[in-house]
A = this chain, B = another copy of it.
Amino acid sequence: MKTFLTLLLPFSAAGLLAQPHTHLPDRAIDFPDVPGYLTLKADLHMHTVFSDGSVWPDIRVEEALRDSLDVIALTEHLEYQPHKDDIPHPDRNRAHEIALKHAANSNLIVVRGSEITRSMPPGHANAIFIKDANNILTKDPLDAFKEAHAQGAFIFWNHPNWIAQNPDGIARLTKMHEKLLKKGYLHGIEVVNETTYSVEALQIALEHNLTILGTSDIHGLIDWLYEVPNGGHRPVTLVFAKEKTAESIKEALFAGRTTVWFNNTLIGRQEMLVPLITASVTVAGAGYIESHKRPSEVLEVELVNNSDAGFILYNKSGYTFHAHDEVVMLEPHSVTRLMVKTLAPKKEIALTFTVLNAVIAPETHPDITWQVVVKE
């Protein structure tokens, strides 16, 4: 091998020598776009050493790139500053600015945010798409919400199920929350926070038309907290946006176009979650199987799942299956062959399943129908 050769490889020499953000995408979160919208991955609640986290902001950017997120917000506690002996007078925008600089050469969007950190009520809330965090550090909690709102912020209630503030873990609206809602100071609610889920928060979201959010609220390291026993991935809010811009993401959040992806569960309004599932799982083909060169009435249907979710389907089709009972698991990024006993040759059938790990309301999972056209 005496001659010089440049190969087209996943890791080309040029790439290795030049790119600062080349990571193996082991943790990359992957969902398809839906008709009319991009499916963007957002984590809008996280901490660094600038409040009570354990990392410099650059680590949050690198973690997000490894998880292939589209948008993050660093939301330091305004009022809670346990590192103040070492970081005595922080500008409350500081973490954001360091992260923004570090993300400059990537395609990660970093939006300015802050966590209003009060005892209950109202508890904690994140204001994102703000202009200046320092001004939100007010004496009266209501003034903080008012100021954030005046800055044009999207404001959401954090971990309404937090046992440090609610020992029974049950999310409940207080009078103060009702006041915030009435004034238009509350636009979303965390149904998922860190490693927890609140079906009661989902109920509140649906009753009060709040945007459904899921966040990591990470203080330590993403890789350590979300090992396989905690789902293998951080919770994210899937945001269905027209474009990958901060403005478009903001529009989608205010419009409530989100779904939460948490611990192999998808939680969202039916109008967004159903399109996500039908974009994720498609019928690639169908044909009657043969036996001893004679056709049968057993139809093989190939279901392709091109998402990270492992779907747990429950048969509502009226047909019985030749290789499954009523539960059909579609592993992430896989092809599943389902054999349907159609009783007679058909040109087209409808397969309806309840998607058990999708939640559109408390105790409510969507029924989804896939139309299957048989190959001639």
Q: Which residues of A contact B (CB under 8 A)?
A: 1-7, 9, 11-14, 16-17, 23-24, 49-50, 53-56, 58-59, 62, 66, 83, 86-88, 90, 94, 161-164, 167-170, 195-200, 220-221, 223-224, 227, 229, 263-265, 267, 278-279, 281-287, 289, 291-292, 294-298, 300, 302, 304, 312, 314, 320-327, 329, 335, 337, 339, 341, 343-344, 356-357, 359, 363, 368-373, 375
Quick check: B325 and A4 within 8 Å, CB to CB?
Answer: no
Minimum Cβ distance to chain B for residue A186 (Å): 23
Question: What are 26 inter-chain pairs, A to B, with CB distance below 8 A?
Answer: A1-B278, A1-B279, A1-B281, A4-B371, A7-B282, A9-B284, A13-B284, A13-B302, A16-B337, A54-B55, A59-B221, A163-B291, A168-B296, A170-B343, A197-B325, A199-B325, A221-B221, A221-B223, A223-B223, A263-B323, A264-B329, A265-B325, A265-B327, A312-B312, A327-B357, A356-B356
- Cα–Cα distance between A86 and B94 once the two chains are bound (Å): 9
Are B371 and A200 in contact, with the CB atoms below 8 A? no
Residues from chain B with Cβ under 8 Å of A59 in the complex:
54-55, 220-221
The 7 closest A-B pairs by CB, nearest first: A13-B285, A1-B278, A4-B373, A163-B296, A54-B56, A164-B291, A168-B297
Structural contact, B300 and A1, CB atoms closer than 8 A: no
Residue of B nearest to A83 (CB): B56
Minimal Cβ-Cβ distance residue in B for A264: B329
Asked whether B298 lies within 8 Å of A327 as measured between CB atoms, the reply is no
Which residues does chain B contribute within 8 Å of A66, judged by CB atoms? 224
A265 to B, closest residue via Cβ: B325
Q: Which residues of B contact A221 (CB under 8 A)?
A: 59, 221, 223
A237 nearest CB across to chain B (Å): 16
9 further A-B pairs in the complex, CB-CB below 8 A; given A1-B283, A59-B221? A3-B371, A11-B335, A17-B289, A55-B59, A59-B220, A164-B292, A169-B296, A265-B324, A312-B327
From B2, B87, B327, contact of A356 by CB (8 A): B327
Residue of B nearest to A7 (CB): B284
